Amino acid sequence: MAPANPAAEMRPDLLVIDPPMAAPGDVVALTFPEETTRGILFVLDQRVGDTWVNRFSLTSDGPGEGWEMRWNAAGAQGVAVPDIGVGGPGPDHVPIPEPAEPGTYRICTGNAGADFCGPIEIVAP
């Protein structure tokens, strides 16, 4: 499995993840200090050696009430995500998948004009 966008850069100035450490099953808040436009698709990449490996896709509640947060394993078939633009500072919420193993990860925008990431540590529940 390859990252959704291997060129995506760590940009904690554009994407803040709260809390910065979370356990599988938790929900984290994503805020955007520059009010960067993004979609509702995010990716969760795990650090493996010197590379990032895409593990999950995450769907946020960014557009507001009525939008369901969900996750899918990377490469899952039949997953459709509406191409919706979201603006403002957030927070957009995403779930940390139950099967995620403890380790160093990044959450990246998955369908923004220019994808960017923020760091997160996944810890044992």
Could you say which residues of the chain have pLDDT below 70?
Answer: 1-4
Does pTM surpass 0.85?
Answer: yes
The pair of structure tokens assigned to 70 is 């969900």
Per-residue pLDDT tens digits for 32-42: 999 999 999 99
Q: Does domain 9-76+85-122 have CATH number 2.60.40.3720?
A: yes
pLDDT above 90 coverage of the chain, percent = 70
Residue 82's pLDDT is what?
77
The residue ranges of every structural domain in the chain are: 9-76+85-122
